[in-house]
Chain A
Amino acid sequence: MRIVARRLGLYLLTAWVAVTANFILPRLMPGNPVQTLIGKITSQVTPAEIRAIRLSFGMGFKQGVIAQYFTYLGQLFHGNLGISITLGAPVSSILRESVPWTIGLIGISTIISFTLGTLAGAMLGWTRGSRFDSLIPTATFFQAVPYFFLGTVMLLVFGSNLHWFPVLGAYSQSATPGWNWTFIASVLRYGELPVISIVLSSVAGWMLGMRNMMITMIGEDFVLMAVAKGLPRRKVIAHAARNAVLPSIANLSLAIGLVVSGALLVELVFNYPGVGDLLLQAVLNEDYPLIQGIFLVITLTVLAANLIADVVYLVLDPRTRSEAAV
Chain B
Amino acid sequence: MSATIPREHEPTAVVDVAASAVATGVTRNEPVLEIEGFSVDYGVGASMVRAVDDVTLRLDRSRVLGIAGESGSGKSTLVYAMTRLLRAPGVISGGRALLHTTDDDGVVTPVNLVEATESQLRKVRWSHVSIVLQSALSALNPVLRIGREFDEVLKTHRKEMTRAQRRARAVELLRLVGLTEDRLDRYPHELSGGQRQRVMIAVALALDPELVIMDEPTTALDVVTQREIISELATLRARFGFAMIFITHDLSLLVELADEIAVMYAGSIVERAGARELYEAPRHPYTLGLLHSFPPLHGERRELTGIPGSPPDLADPPTGCRFAPRCTFVMARCLSERPTLRELGDEGRSVACWLFDPASESRVPVELSLAPSARQTVGEP
For residue B307, CB closer than 8 A to chain A, the reply is: no
The proximity string for B residues 139-153 relative to A, scoring 1 for CB distances below 8 Å and 0 otherwise, is: 111111100000011
Q: Is A224 an interface residue (CB 8 A)?
A: yes
B51 within 8 A of A: no
Stretch at the interface among A103-111, A114-122, A177-185, A312-320: A312-320
| B326: Cβ under 8 A from any A Cβ | no
CA A316 to CA B122, docked complex, whole Å: 29
- Given A235-B152, A235-B156, A243-B141, A230 and B187 touching (CB < 8 A)? no
Assess whether A222 is interfacial by the CB under 8 Å rule.
yes
Given A221-B133, A221-B135, A319-B187, is A228 in contact with B126 using a C-beta cutoff of 8 Å?
A: yes
Contacts A227-B85, A228-B85, A230-B122: A220 and B156 contacting too (C-beta < 8 A)?
Answer: no
Contact A322 B156 (CB under 8 A): no
Interface residues of A in 221-256 (CB under 8 A from B): 221-222, 224-232, 235, 239, 242-243, 246
For chain B, residues 149 to 175, give those with C-beta under 8 angstroms from any C-beta of chain A.
152-153, 156-157
B127, B140, B141: most-surrounded residue (chain A CB, <10 A): B141
Could you say which of B144, B153, B189 contacts A229, with CB atoms under 8 Å apart? B153
Q: Do B189 and A224 touch across chains, with their CB atoms under 8 A apart? A: no
Contacts of B156 in A (CB 8 A): 229-232, 235
- Contacting B143 at CB < 8 Å: which of A225, A228, A230, A316? A316
A277 to B339, alpha carbons, bound, how many Å?
82
Q: State A12–B135 Cα separation when bound (angstroms).
A: 42
Kindly identify which residue among A224, A227, A243 contacts B142, using a CB–CB cutoff of 8 Å: A243
Contact A228/B124 with A221-B139, A243-B143 known, Cβ cut-off 8 Å: no
Of A220, A229, A243, most buried by chain B (CB within 10 Å of CB) is A229
* Cβ–Cβ < 8 Å partners of B145 in chain A: 318
Bound Cα distance from A220 to B143, whole angstroms: 13
B190 is an interface residue with CB less than 8 A from chain A: yes
- The answer, yes or no, to whether B328 is at the interface (CB within 8 Å) is no
Establish whether residues B133 and A224, one from each chain, have CB atoms under 8 Å apart when the complex forms.
yes
Q: How far is the CA of A145 from the CA of B135 in the complex (A)?
A: 46
Complex Cα distance, B144 from A316, in Å, reads: 9
Contacts of A317 in B (CB 8 A): 142-143
Is B123 at the interface (CB under 8 A from chain A)?
A: yes
Q: Would you list which residues of chain A between 189 and 238 have a CB under 8 Å from chain B? A: 219-222, 224-232, 235
Asked if B131 is at the interface (CB within 8 A of a chain A CB), the reply is: yes
> Within 8 Å CB of B85, what residues of A?
224, 227-228
Q: Which of A228, A243, A318, A322 contacts B130 (CB 8 A)?
A: A228
Would you give the 0/1 interface string for A138-180, flagging 1 where the beta carbon is closer than 8 Å to chain B?
A: 0000000000000000000000000000000000000000000
In the assembled complex, the Cα of A232 lies from the Cα of B83 at a distance in Å of: 16
Residue contact A225 to B133, C-beta cutoff 8 Å: yes
The interface size of chain A toward B, counting residues with CB under 8 Å, comes to: 23
CB pair B123 A230 closer than 8 Å: yes
Majority secondary structure, A binding face: helix
Residues of B within 8 A of A235 (CB): 152, 156
Docked Cα-Cα span, A221 to B134, in Å, equals 10
Task: Enumerate B79-133 residues with CB–CB distance to A below 8 Å.
Answer: 83, 85, 87, 121-127, 130-131, 133
Residues of chain B lying within 8 A (CB to CB) of residue A227: 85, 125
Q: How far is the CA of A318 from the CA of B190 in the complex (A)?
A: 10
B contacts with A, residue count (CB < 8 A): 29
Given contacts A228-B131, A229-B152, A229-B153, A222 and B126 within 8 Å (CB-CB): no
A294 to chain B, nearest CB (A): 39
Cα–Cα distance between A226 and B139 once the two chains are bound (Å): 9
- B189's contact among A228, A232, A242, A319, by CB below 8 Å, is which? A319
* Cβ of B6 to closest chain A Cβ, rounded Å: 15
Chain A residue with the shortest CB-CB distance to B189: A319
* Residue pair A222, B138 in contact (C-beta under 8 Å): yes
Decide: A220 near B138, CB < 8 A? Known: A230-B125, A232-B122, A322-B190. Answer: yes
Report the Cα distance A5→B114, complex, angstroms. 56
Q: Which one of A219, A228, A242, A246 contacts B125 once the chains associate, using CB atoms below 8 Å?
A: A228
Residues of B within 8 A of A219 (CB): 87
In Å, the complex CA distance between A222 and B121 comes to 18
CB-based contact B143/A318 at 8 Å: yes
B152 touches A230 (CB 8 A): no
B251 CB to nearest chain A CB (Å): 25
Measured between beta carbons, the chain B residues less than 8 angstroms from A228 are 83, 85, 125-126, 130-131
Chain A residues near B122 (CB-CB < 8 A): 230-232
B201 CB, min distance to chain A CBs, angstroms: 13
Output the least CB separation between B118 and chain A (Å): 8
Q: Are A230 and B126 within 8 A (Cβ)?
A: yes
Q: How far is the CA of A242 from the CA of B85 in the complex (A)?
A: 21
* C-alpha spacing A243/B188, complex, angstroms: 14
| Given A317-B143, A319-B187: A230 in contact with B127 (beta carbons within 8 A) | yes
Q: How far is the CB of A70 from chain B (nearest CB, A)?
A: 47
A318 CA to B85 CA in the complex, in Å?
Answer: 29
Q: Across the interface, do A222 and B141 meet the contact criterion of CB distance under 8 Å?
A: yes
Contacts of B144 in A (CB 8 A): 242
B123 to chain A: which residues have CB within 8 Å? 230
Cα–Cα distance between A174 and B54 once the two chains are bound (Å):
80
CB neighbors of B among A32-51 (8 A): none
Taking the closest CB of chain A, its distance from the CB of B85, in whole angstroms, is 6
Chain B proximity of A42: nearest CB distance (Å): 66
Q: How distant is B375 from chain A, measured CB to nearest CB, in Å?
A: 35
B138, B152, B153: which contacts A221 (Cβ < 8 A)? B138
Complex: chain A residue closest to B127, CB-CB = A230
Contact present for A242 and B121 (CB under 8 Å): no
- In the assembled complex, the CB of A237 is this many whole angstroms from the nearest CB of chain B, namely 13
Are A225 and B127 CB-contacts (below 8 A) given A230-B157, A231-B156, A232-B122? no
Could you list 10 A-B pairs, sorted by A, with CB under 8 Å? A221-B135, A224-B133, A229-B125, A229-B152, A230-B125, A230-B157, A231-B153, A231-B156, A242-B141, A242-B143
Question: What 9 A-B pairs have minimum CB-CB distances, sorted nearest first?
Answer: A230-B125, A221-B138, A318-B187, A221-B139, A230-B122, A222-B141, A229-B126, A230-B126, A228-B131
A-side residues, CB < 8 A to B, are 219-222, 224-232, 235, 239, 242-243, 246, 316-319, 322
B binding-site residues for A, Cβ under 8 Å:
83, 85, 87, 121-127, 130-131, 133, 135, 138-145, 152-153, 156-157, 187, 189-190
Given contacts A228-B85, A316-B143, 7 further A-B contacts (CB under 8 A): A222-B140, A225-B140, A230-B125, A230-B157, A243-B142, A318-B142, A318-B143
